[in-house]
Amino acid sequence: MTHLLLADLRGHASSWTWACVFAVVAGACVSGQFMVMHGALHTASAATGVNKWGIPIRTDMTDTAHTVTAFIIVSVVLAMAAVLTSTAALVIAQQQRDHGLWRALGMRPGTLRAILLGQLAVVGAVGSLGGGALGWPVARVMVSLLIDQEAALPGTTPQWEAGDLIWTAVAVAGAEMVGGWGPARRAARATEMELLAGRGGAGKAWSLRRLLGMLTRFALAGGLAAGMVAAAAALHRSGTMTEDAVNAAMLGSFAALGLVCVLTPGLVPLLERLLGLLPARGPAWLVATRTAALQSRRSATTVLPFLVAIGLVAVMFGAVHAGIGSMRLSGFLSVCGLALVTAWSGGVAVIAMSASSRRRDAALLEAAGARERTVLAAQVLEGTLHAGVAVILGMFVSVATSVFMAAVSGEGVLATVARGPWGELGVVGGLTLVTTCLAVVLSARAGDRGSVGEVLRARE
């Protein structure tokens, strides 16, 4: 089984490469933050005196190092898990015909699931080792940001410990396994004919498995919605501009972000179909909208990572614009920067992993007589659709955040919404647009394309 696992990884290297790249980026973020924590603790242990509140500097900075590290690593792991569910599903879906052949030759479902999870574990191990090697430059950047925010003492330098490699492996490989558990289980439970026909994730409309999946998603969405209601109730009890009110508003805002992320598989196809109804002439727009509508699952996985990034900006800067705190850009990057990098790199990876489908779509258009500029325009418009949907969903998160912040500040909801972080959202939205368009175009045109017939006959 180990030989088959490794041989399949080598045979589908093009599919697994981007999953490994994303794992390395995530591993570098986790490993770098551990180095920052060790350096901050070492500097804090040698500190003397008390701060302006009379608390010993050693105790204060030690607690700060632990708190900041825990928050950053948890946010990175959550971003990893959200993206890895998409990347694992894409890789496994691209190989399901091979999985069907294995099943037809006598492989048991449990063995197939073990092989898929083993491959994800290998990717996690690669991410841990590569991340450990690349964590140093990440740590240097984070140290300077934390010193600027007075979350670390001047003179702090990153320090590496052997145990960091183990904890990085636990975080990255654990997120890989959690993100890939569902796709691996669905592939193992599908029949041979479903896998060979490329319908491994479809199944029957009202099978017990699909019903349980829907109930789980509804339960998670209901829990997040209940969290928003509980936050609103806590705000009503706490009054304005109190610490409890600020904490409740932040928790409610993050619950709103989580709720939108959970509902993304249903919201993205709906929004992209609505955008497709906009009046526009030319075949490029028609092809882009139809492609996004037909490939709704792929569209949802493409939008989700960028939505996480936009949502983080909406929540954190929404509080600042509501007059709660005085966080600067360096403060935002010190707290959410690594999660932002993780989500952003995951979005690029998801787009690149589905490049083979886009190459076949382009070849089909060329075979039908479309011009090169029409194909290019369709690809750019597809990236524009994904970016537009991510920005729209991010605006929902921003409005929800403004509602919570209005309760804290005591100002009206409309006034708080008008003062929202629209400038920051415009910047991150523009970066999303540029990133998605470039990623779609470059991934579809990377490598040796070959003739139209060769691309249409290609399996990946």
Q: How far is CA 406 from CA 38, 232, 238, 395, 417, in A?
A: 39, 11, 13, 16, 8
Could you give the CA distance from residue 15 to residue 357 in angstroms, rounded to a whole number?
Answer: 12
Helix H or strand E encompassing 237: helix 208-238
Token pair 């015909």 in the structure block, residue: 97
Task: Using only the alpha carbons of the chain, give its radius of gyration.
Answer: 24
Could you give the CA distance from residue 2 to residue 256 in angstroms, rounded to a whole number?
Answer: 43
SS3 state at 201? coil
Helix, strand, coil percent values for the chain (each to nearest 5): 80, 0, 20
Could you give the CA distance from residue 14 to residue 11 in angstroms, rounded to a whole number?
Answer: 8
Could you give the CA distance from residue 319 to residue 325 in angstroms, rounded to a whole number?
Answer: 7
**DSSP H helices in 159-207:** 163-189, 192-196
Long-range contact set of residues 211-220: C-beta below 8 Å, sequence gap at least 24: 217/262, 220/262
Token pair 């691996």 in the structure block, residue: 184
List the chain pLDDT tens, one digit each, 460 residues: 677 777 777 776 767 788 888 889 988 998 998 898 888 888 888 777 766 666 777 787 888 888 888 888 888 877 777 777 677 777 777 777 888 888 888 888 888 888 888 888 888 888 888 888 888 999 999 988 888 887 788 888 999 888 888 888 888 888 777 777 777 887 888 787 777 776 655 544 445 656 776 787 788 889 999 999 999 999 888 877 788 888 899 999 999 998 998 888 888 888 888 877 777 667 788 778 777 766 666 677 788 888 988 998 899 888 888 888 777 777 788 888 888 888 888 888 888 877 777 777 777 777 777 788 888 888 888 889 889 999 999 999 999 999 999 988 888 889 899 988 999 999 999 999 999 999 888 887 775 555 655 555 555 4
Report the interhelical angle of 13-45 vs 163-189 (nearest 10°). Answer: 150
Measured from the Cβ of residue 162, the count of other Cβ atoms closer than 10 Å reads: 6
Burial of residue 325 (number of CB atoms within 10 Å: 0-12, 13-18, 19+): exposed
Residue 39: which of 192, 190, 141, 181 has the closest Cα? 141
How much is the pTM?
A: 0.79
